[in-house]
Amino acid sequence: MMLNGRRVFEYVLDDLDLSVYRGKMTIVASTDSGAYRELFMKAGVETIGRPAALATDTAPTLPVLWNVLPRMEKRCGHRFDAVMDIYPCCPIRPRGFIDKVIDLWKKEPRYSIMPVLPCPQRFHPTLAVPIDDNGQLHYVIPYGDQAKQAYRLSVYLAGGAGFLIPRQNFDIYPNPSPPGDAHLGFGERKGIVVDPSRFVDIDSPEDVRRAIALLLRGKALGVCDAPTD
């Protein structure tokens, strides 16, 4: 897909190249497309084939990562510290956001770090998740007064901006079967807020128009704050 004269994934690569952790990263693209594999290779990105069963619109994310991780560790000859997944359909995020995710994980390495958007947003309400004052996301919600006191804010998941899973989670939670249990592999999660005015997840023509407008106006730059700051 093209966006303002460039392929969408090129904007993601730009963000990765700007990271202070770039020298410690191994950037990998998993794809079942020979054409895209060639494009990624030309861009200097490691590529790995994706099985057809994991290349559908409904395939959960974690089994895909499980498919990639051991193969890449074998190829590179070492064990990774963490896995960060960034969707190529999310070309715009605040400048420095990737580093903020990694910085937060380094402070609290047992947590997966999940990008979130403050409510209300136009996403489906079933994706709303309570977040506490420490930034921890809660998927089992208590009822009554306890809930009202514990959770004063709900957020929407925005994983495409770049979520991070500690490597040890892949040992604690083996490759899930059935795929419906894939979410368990994230373990304990903390949220980091994405400025919605500087984030675009392309899912419609409206999103494309908004992304181009942000690029042209230069509003894709800036910073955002983690709830734990």
pLDDT, tens digit, 9 for 90 and up, residues 175-195:
655 444 445 567 888 888 888
Helices (H), ranges, the chain: 8-17, 34-42, 61-76, 97-107, 145-150, 169-172, 205-217
Residue 225 lies in a domain: no
> By residue range, what is the domain housing residue 19?
2-217
Q: What domain count does the chain have?
A: 1
Mean pLDDT confidence for 75-100? 92
Does the residue 226 lie in any domain? Answer: no
Give per-residue burial for 122-156: e unless 16+ CB within 10 Å, then b: eeeeeebbbbeeebbbbeeeeeeeeeeeebeebbb
- pLDDT tens across 204-222, in order? 899 999 888 888 877 444 4
Note the pLDDT tens digit of each residue in 7-23: 999 999 999 999 999 99
106 located within any domain = yes
**Residue 111 to residue 9: CA distance in whole angstroms:** 27
pTM assigned to the model: 0.82
Residue 192 bridge partners (DSSP): 115
User: CA-CA distance, 112 to 106, in Å (whole number)?
Assistant: 11
Here the CATH number for the domain that contains residue 124 is 3.90.550.10
Residue at 187 is within a domain: yes
- Of the candidates 88, 83, 96, the one whose C-alpha atom is nearest the C-alpha of residue 20 is 96
User: Does residue 222 sit within a domain?
Assistant: no
229 located within any domain: no
